[in-house]
Amino acid sequence: MAIVNEHLKSNDYTIILTVPTDKSYAITNIMVCNNGSVGSATFDMHFVPQSDPIGNYDTRVINNLTLPAGETFTFDSERIVLEVGDRLVFQADPAVVFLTVNATTMVNGKKYEIMTTGTTDYTQHGAANSTPGTVFIMENSPVATSAETSGTVRLSGYSNLAATVSYLEV
């Protein structure tokens, strides 16, 4: 059994799983957790066949499900088999304003907004410049130690929702 985890983006699609060539996956469990301490969040879930576009009328299987803060939704009574190229995709709302943190905590592949430059050269990590307000996707982790950099960032474009999917290769 394999497990994938993903922090869901807001107002954008998050592809959780794409079945590679010569594989089939049986989804055994899907959990979506609202990690927020206050407020609700909503999500849509899509099962998208190999070359089809994501479409609310064609691929959406969960529509605008509201999840209160601190709650988890579990989808485990049905088994879904995905074939080559099929995708499991989520869309979540609303976007959350995250706390400002030291640039040393950034993780590759996540989207951040620069809050303060300090001594951090964000262009070395995927940003077009080091100007506060610039949004970029982190590359070349890790950033130097906190003694060597004083810039701050916050996650940008994410909800409080995280999804976990377990599946078997069949």
Q: CA separation (Å) from 45 to 13, 24, 105, 140, 155?
A: 10, 19, 30, 31, 23
Q: pLDDT value at position 63?
A: 97
Cα–Cα distances in angstroms (integers) from residue 162 to residues 6, 67, 70, 135, 153, in the given order: 6, 11, 11, 21, 20
**Of 150, 135, 139, residue with least CA distance to 12:** 135
The kind and range of the H/E element at 109 are none
pLDDT digit string (tens) for 110-141? 999 999 998 888 998 899 999 999 999 999 77
CA distance 44 to 34: 14
- Say if CB 18 and CB 83 are below 8 A apart: no
Q: What is the pLDDT of residue 96?
A: 85
Burial string for 11-22 (b: 16+ CB within 10 Å, else e) reads: eebbebbebeee
pTM of the model: 0.82
**Structural domains present in the chain:** 2-93+158-169 (2.60.120), 101-155 (no CATH)
* Residue 44 pLDDT greater than 70, yes or no: yes
Question: Among 28-42, 53-67, 90-104, which is the least confidently predicted range?
Answer: 90-104
For residues 89-98, one letter each, b for 16 or more C-beta atoms within 10 angstroms of the residue's C-beta and e for the rest, the string is: bbbbbebbee
